[in-house]
Chains A and B, each alone.
Chain A
Amino acid sequence: MYPNPSIPVQQVLILDTGPLWELILYASIRDLRFGRLRSDLRYLRADTHYDAFTAFIAKFSRRITTPHVVSEIGSKVIKTRPSEGQAPIWGIVHEEFRAMRMDETLFKLLEMPLPLVAKVGATDASIVELGLNYGRTKSLVVSVDSALIAECKRAGLDAKDIWEILAA
Chain B
Amino acid sequence: MSPRAEASSRKQSRRVAAWIYAVINPIIESLLREQAFLDVGNLTWRSYSGRCEMIRNIQDYVEAFQWPNYQTFLAEHSKSPFQVGFREHDNYIKVLNEIATEVFRIFLGPGQFRRAMDNLIAIFRSSQGDSGAINTPPDSPDVLWDEIAQHVINNSQTLPSHYVIAKFWNSSGRELLRFRTTTEFEPVLRASNALLGHSRSLSQSLERFRLKLSRDYDVPAAPVPGLSFDE
Contacts and interface: CB of A to CB of B under 8 A. Distances in A.
B53 interface: yes
Interface of A is mostly: helix
Interface string A82-103: 0111011001001100111100
Given A91-B53, A101-B164, A84 B135 contact: no
Given A61-B136, A88-B54, A91-B54, A83 B63 contact: yes
A84 B30 contact: yes
Nearest to B143: A101
Contact of B161 (A31, A57, A101): A57
A84 B36 contact: no
Contacts of B33: 32-33, 88
B30 A51 contact: no
Chain B, interface residues (CB within 8 Å), range: 20 to 34
A85 B54 contact: no
A38 interface: no
B110 interface: no
B155 to A, nearest CB: 13
Given A33-B36, A51-B161, A101 B54 contact: no
B63 A85 contact: yes
Nearest to B164: A101
A138 interface: no
Given A83-B21, A85-B63, A58 B166 contact: yes
A55 interface: yes
20 contacts: A51-B161, A54-B160, A54-B162, A57-B161, A57-B162, A58-B162, A58-B166, A83-B21, A83-B26, A84-B29, A84-B62, A84-B63, A88-B30, A88-B33, A98-B48, A99-B162, A100-B163, A101-B135, A101-B136, A101-B164
Interface of B: 21-22, 25-26, 29-30, 32-33, 36, 48, 53-54, 56, 60-64, 133, 135-136, 138-139, 159-164, 166-167
